[in-house]
Amino acid sequence: MIVVTGGAGFIGANLVRALNARGRDDILLVEDLQDGRKALNLADCRIGDYFDSDEWRALVDGRGVAPEIECVYHLGACSDTTNWDGRMMMANNFAFSRATFEFCVARGIPLVYASSAAVYGTGREFREAPDCERPLNVYGWSKLVFDQYVRRRLPSVTSPVMGLRYFNVYGPREAHKGRMASVALHLHRQLLADGRVRLFGASHGCAPGEQRRDFVHVDDVVDVTLWCAAQPRSVSGVYNCGTGRAEPFNAVARAVLDFHGRGTLEYIDFPADLVNAYQAYTEADLSRLRAAGYAGRLRDVATGVREYLHWLAA
């Protein structure tokens, strides 16, 4: 079996779909479906078994009989960057991940897990190195603490373990994320609602809409994630997962307007309460990922957003 935790979520559902396309449906889906709308992300997918997240936690804690597991993709987490409930965040993003990690390494099971570019905060250098890591919120800190735990344990681990710091992911199967969905989806919905798209005005030394992020299409993220699972123990570690290009929010807006062939772009005042908690620039340094052997091509914003909007239209 292939285990996918968080398998009904944004990246998880796309990963399940990609595994199906490779002929794999022996997938053990692990998910908290208290919000049952997430299940619709898997309406066109096939799985072999389902565990509630509490059932998986009991299993990795030694309460239950584990099936034969080929690989674990650990994507389950609380990804709300505005949530400051530290106990909840650490229980979901650290303790749950630590238990899954220890379960995998004790059995020699390859593990690929989701970290986040949120660990970098407002820095201008995005290398997988401690001197670049200064998170701005408890979400980013919870991800960083687990990365630190993995780094400390890796010298004694004999099975492959790879953590991926996902940058600004967008694409199909993210509608359930609500306000945490990508700017591409929000702009698309704004245009359909009233013919306008809105971005933040000037801030952080940037002209209106010129704040820059590394926007990465979910299909590229899935490709990197699947590649990681096939790598040997020698390349274990934490890696960035983005495009290596910082593109402005204006580029996303242009892609949305161009696709629809109509609409106007407006700028709104930057919220005062976000000034000290906002990443105005991110750009993945892909040196380590490329050196490890990943050679895939990664979509730019114009290409990726156009493909995404075609998917939404269909």
> Looking at the annotation, which residues are catalytic?
139, 177
At which residue do the structure tokens 């993945």 appear?
A: 284
| Helix, strand, coil % in the chain, rounded to nearest 5 | 45, 20, 35
Q: Count CB neighbours of 178 within 10 A.
A: 10
Q: Which residues contact 204 (CB under 8 A, 6 or more apart)?
A: 211, 275, 278, 280, 281
Torsion sign across C-alpha atoms 244, 248, 254, 256: positive
Residue 230 makes CB contacts below 8 A (sequence gap 6+) with: none
Q: Which amino acid is at 235?
A: V
**Using CA atoms, how far apart are residues 173 and 80, in angstroms rounded to an integer?**
17
For residue 74, what are the contacts with CB-CB under 8 A and spacing of at least 6? 5, 6, 97, 100, 101, 111, 112, 113, 114
Residue 152 CB contacts under 8 Å (≥ 6 apart), including other chains: none
Amino acid 282 reads: T
| Cα–Cα dist 250/198, whole Å | 10
* Alpha-helix residue ranges (DSSP H) falling in 119-202: 138-153, 183-194
CB–CB of 64/54 below 8 Å? no
Nearest to 77 by CA among 183, 178, 177, 179: 177
- Count of residues for the chain? 314
